[in-house]
Amino acid sequence: MNDRILSAMGVGPLLDELAGSLPGTECVVLLSTDGLPLLVASGTNPDRAEHLSAVAAGLHAIADAANRNNGGRRVDQTVVEMDYRMLVVVPLALGALLAVVFDAVTDLSGTRERITRFADRLGLRMERADLVTTP
């Protein structure tokens, strides 16, 4: 899936909406499971987006392997807590991932929940667009 298809789906404004709604958001990237950035929020540095995409895809792959090894069905999200930041990676429709880096805030579980709800919205939009464009 290329960036023109994603733009036609209206994914870019949704990424910008997420970045604007979370305090201290540094990067919001929609990426493929093999680590290629597909679309980034407008305030995200392109160089950081490429690096984040590679890291997020690798972390999700490790979490997915650990999950399968332990009999699980799916990984809902991968979370990395750092000194002053958090990275949340959420799988979406069509084999895409959403990666978000933001300042650690007081309500970490609430922020992760908001990212998950947003990812659900984004995934639904992507699935609907796929249903419309598939013959």
Q: What is the mean pLDDT of each run of 10 residues along the chain (135 residues)?
A: 51 84 88 91 91 96 93 88 89 87 75 81 69 40
Phi-psi region of 11 (alpha: psi -120 to 50; beta: other; left: phi over 0): alpha
Starting at the edge strand found earlier in the chain, the sheet holding 78-81 runs 37-40, 25-32, 96-103, 85-91, 78-81
In this predicted structure, what is the pLDDT of residue 121?
80
In this predicted structure, what is the pLDDT of residue 30?
92
CA distances from 51 to 56, 68, 119 (A): 9, 26, 21
Fold of 3-133: Beta-Lactamase (3.30.450)
Whether residue 96 contacts residue 32, with contact meaning beta carbons closer than 8 Å, is answered with yes
Q: Please tell me the distance from the alpha carbon of residue 9 to that of residue 94, in angstroms, as a whole number.
A: 13
pTM: 0.80
Phi then psi for 99, rounded to 5 degrees? -120, 135
Best CA proximity match to 26, nearest among 82, 77, 76, 96: 82
Q: Domain spans of the chain?
A: 3-133
In this predicted structure, what is the pLDDT of residue 129?
55
